[in-house]
Amino acid sequence: MTVVQGRFEWDSEKNEINIKKHGFSFEGILSVFDDPHFIERADLEHSTIEEERFIGFGSINGLVIVATIFIERDRIRIISSRLATKKEEA
């Protein structure tokens, strides 16, 4: 089932998997997109012609969070979220 919250959406089953795997709910990381230092880059490894994905980096309470997203029209679809690795933080 698709969950919609404002300009964000995600799959509820994928959210549950993400919580178990990475410890973060998609709803819980929404403020990462408000981080003034938030940056995103194309995810060339996982993008397709039909779906161009992006990887976003931002901070919540001092933790650097990585969010994989897909942008379509006025919606941001969250695909995954996790803590950044030490290499990604550098």
Q: What is the pLDDT of residues 58-89, one digit of tens each?
A: 999 999 999 999 998 889 999 999 999 999 98
**Residue corresponding to tokens 């919250």:** 5
Average pLDDT over residues 12-36: 97
pLDDT at residue 90 is higher than 90 = no
Burial classification of residue 74, based on how many CB atoms lie within 10 Å of its CB (0-12 exposed, 13-18 middle, 19 or more buried): exposed
Q: What is the pLDDT of residues 11-22, one digit of tens each?
A: 999 999 999 999
Pick the closest to residue 9 from 1, 20, 19 (CA basis). Answer: 1
